[in-house]
Amino acid sequence: MTRYSTYSNDDSRPSGKRRSRGPIMAAKKRAEGAKQDDGKYKDTVDLPKTAFGLRANSTVREPELQKIWDDNQVFKRVVESNNGGTFVLHDGPPYANGDLHMGHALNKILKDIINRYKLLQNFRVQYVPGWDCHGLPIELKVLQSLDDDARKELTPLKLRNKAAKFAKSTVQSQMASFKRYGVWADWDQHYLTLHPEYEAAQIEVFGQMAIKGFIYRGRKPVHWSPSSRTALAEAELEYNEEHVSKSMYAIFKLVGVPASYDSLKEFWPNLCLAIWTTTPWTIPANAAVAVNGKLQYAVVEVTSASIDGSTSSADGKKRLGNFMKGNKSLFLIVALDLVSTLESKWGLKLTLKKTVMGSDLDNCRYTHPIDSRECPVVIGGDYITTESGTGLVHTAPGHGQEDYVTGLKYGLPLVSPVDDDGKFTEEAGQFRGLDVLGNGNVAVIDYLDEHLSMVMVEPYKHKYPYDWRTKKPTIFRATEQWFASVEGFRDAAMDAINHVTWIPSQAVNRISAMTSGRSDWCISRQRTWGVPIPVFYQVESKEPLMNEETVDHIRSIVSQKGSDAWWYMAVEELLPEKYRDKASNYEKGTDTMDVWFDSDQLCYMGGVLTGPELACLEDESGVKEDVRWMCGHTRRDGIRNEDIRDKGGSGLRGGQAD
């Protein structure tokens, strides 16, 4: 075989070593030549000489620049040199409960940009930063740092001292970080909501609102957190869209109808109301079944069913009840539009026998499935639809806002047999001591099944309110609380909204909608670390004592000694002179104010907010806090002339480390 090569005979097989050295040697020779030429022209070129670094070296340079700003009081001198109008940044305070995060950075830097822009426009900028220092976030931080033995020995005063120490330490840490961000502010004059003068002003505002009728005490269902053992406001909730409840279809047996409409008696004695609920644990508190007076309802016969309570669906998640056992025939009342849906869901044949209007069912009577008392059928509101369930709503006024409103209309009893820990009380009978969100819920379902009242139970995924701090489910529970009546100043708030410049302009639409539909605000908290609600209760009757004289006396004490005085001073010392001879008849309240009530007092703190032009910058992903902030501004004397710049919910109120 003949081989051909382009190499000469001597180089026909060049070695790898020889081939690889060629480029290396060439590069070496070029480098040696470059060294000989190095500096050949440097003396002939006139280059600038400077000490300016080629690198930013920010970690070193930025602190040096900020020290120059501080040493030379640049912010103060620029403000004093301007002679335009006054621009006051109304800054919502962050919580003093942890290190800063990106939300704080976004918040404070955006505000700093606005302040600097106003400085360049020749405005005299006033920015007094502050911190929310009370509330559950800080109390939880303190409790989490203690072991079980330390918690057992913790008195209210010890807890408050630890919380104050933690808050002040966190303020210093956060302030240093804000300065490191490069934010210009009057850091030496910052305010803390735990300062005695601030607490005293807050008590004064509370008293004035109470005297004007804007604050009242009532027993109403509120969001209650068993994990925190306190009531929560709407803004303290977050909604978990992955929450799964045990939803239940149940039947309540009819035992009476109005004399004017007795045609239903032909289905006696096996006629029942079919209800659906995602909170079976509230059945012991049931006081009525509500229907929509405008909907059509059907009387259906349940047939072709061979139901065994031990059977379940193929996926093992849906369980059918024993409600058909012993019944040769059974008639149910459900919404007409839902008959086919329920037939498919239950796997039963539902034969239509009669139709009635919801209004015809008003004042029918049924037997409570647990304690056998008679309860009425009532007409509810538009919240009763045919989108889900049966079209009939189990109503427990002590465990739901809509149920509560319906209960007021019909004078229904307000039953709520649940304690602070979310467990059934003695009032719940055989369920006492059980956790309503756990074994108590299961026990109620099993009881109804054993007594032939449970049709079906299945998992139901839906949006459910959680405590934003503990990340655990909440419940609706009727308790004695203090409320701010939004109705008392709703018109003032709506009027003020229309006198504000909103950026972007469409932001006014959402806050108007929220304010117009805002319910009363629960402002009391069952916690230790906070400003006390300045009220005394008559020992026997529990009647509250709070008037202008008592509030003013407490305010004067707090202004000198701080709010700790409420915990270490005796009742006779806290009461004005005219009540001291009756001090043994009173006890001081233990509730504290919602921490949002603290920050809302900014508008009334002398020296913090002054000047004709006021910027109120909101930092919210939604509008719940916007509404509270706005209502806080208007609840006394109406809003001042504010320029509220809303950034579409992207973030411009105090960033909060929750």
pLDDT in tens, 467-520: 988 899 999 999 999 998 888 788 888 888 888 778 778 888 888 888 887 778
Q: Where are the alpha helices (DSSP H) in 547-617?
A: 548-561, 565-568, 571-574, 595-599
Note the pLDDT of residue 25: 65
Sketch the domain layout of the chain as residue ranges: 197-229+476-503+515-602, 244-306+317-462
**Residue 461, pLDDT above cutoff 80:** yes
Residue 356 has pLDDT above 70, yes or no: yes
- Look at residue 612 in the predicted model and tell me its pLDDT: 45
- Position 419, amino acid: D
CA–CA dist 605, 555 (Å, integer):
14
> Of 41-45, 251-255, 627-631, where does mean pLDDT reach its minimum?
627-631
- pLDDT at position 178, please? 96
| Lowest pLDDT segment from 129-138, 195-204, 433-442, 639-648 | 639-648
Averaged pLDDT, 631-654: 38
Using the predicted structure, report yes or no on whether residue 53 has a pLDDT greater than 50.
Answer: yes
| Of 5-9, 87-91, 300-304, 345-349, the least confident | 5-9
The residue count of the chain comes to 658
**Backbone region of residue 427 per phi and psi (left: phi > 0; alpha: psi in -120 to 50; beta: other values):** alpha
Mean pLDDT (whole number) for 324-329: 76
pTM: 0.72
Query: Phi/psi at 466 (nearest 5 deg)?
Result: -120, 155
AA letter at 22: G
CATH annotation of 244-306+317-462 = 3.90.740.10
Q: Can you tell me whether residue 504 is helix, strand or coil?
A: coil
Residue 35 vs residue 323, higher pLDDT: 323
Instruction: Give me 324's structure tokens.
Output: 């058909």
Question: Vertex 352, ends 350 and 356: CA angle to 5°?
Answer: 125
pLDDT of residue 434: 97
Phi-psi region of 329 (alpha: psi -120 to 50; beta: other; left: phi over 0): beta
Res 46: pLDDT: 80
Contact 651, 107 (CB under 8 A): yes
Q: Which amino acid is at 84?
A: G
pLDDT, position 34: 56
For the chain, the maximum distance between any two Cα atoms, rounded to a whole number of angstroms, is: 129
Q: Does residue 221 have a pLDDT over 70? A: yes
- Residue 356 belongs to what H/E stretch? strand 349-357
Three-state SS annotation for 187-234? HHHCEECCCHHHHHHHHHHHHHHHHCCCEEEEEEEEEEECCCCEEECH
Buried b (16+ CB within 10 A) or exposed e, 101-122: eebbeebbebbbebbbebbeee
**Residue with the two structure tokens 């976030």:** 137
DSSP letter for 99, please: -
Given a cut of 80, whether residue 54 has pLDDT beyond it is no
Report the pLDDT value the prediction gives residue 39, as an integer from 0 to 100: 63
Of 3.40.50.620, 2.70.98.10, 3.90.76.10, 3.30.1360.120, the CATH number of 197-229+476-503+515-602 is 3.40.50.620
* Mean pLDDT value across residues 558-584: 95
Q: Which two tokens stand for residue 145?
A: 């740092």
According to DSSP H, which parts of 11-129 are helical?
A: 16-37, 58-71, 74-81, 102-120
Q: Cα(119)–Cα(127) distance, rounded to whole angstroms? A: 12
Helix-helix angle 74-81:58-71, to 10 degrees: 50
Cα(324)–Cα(326) distance, integer angstroms? 6
- 466: its two tokens: 């959680």
For residue 552, what pLDDT band results from cuts at 50, 70 and 90?
very high
Span 92-118, mean pLDDT? Answer: 91
- What pLDDT is attached to residue 318? 87
Computed over every residue of the chain, the mean pLDDT equals: 84
Question: How are beta strands 86-91 and 124-126 bridged, if at all?
Answer: parallel
How far is the C-alpha of 143 from the C-alpha of 165, rounded, in Å?
A: 13
Token pair 């100043």 is found at 489
CB 331, CB 272: distance < 8 Å: yes
User: Worst-scoring range by mean pLDDT, 312-321, 447-456, 491-500?
Assistant: 312-321
- Is pLDDT at 49 greater than 90 in this prediction? no
Q: Which residue has the higher pLDDT, 654 or 200?
A: 200
Percent of the chain with pLDDT over 90: 56
For residue 658, what are its two tokens?
């929750």
Find all residues with CB under 8 Å of 615, minimum gap 6, and list them: 87, 88, 89, 90, 114, 642, 643, 644, 645
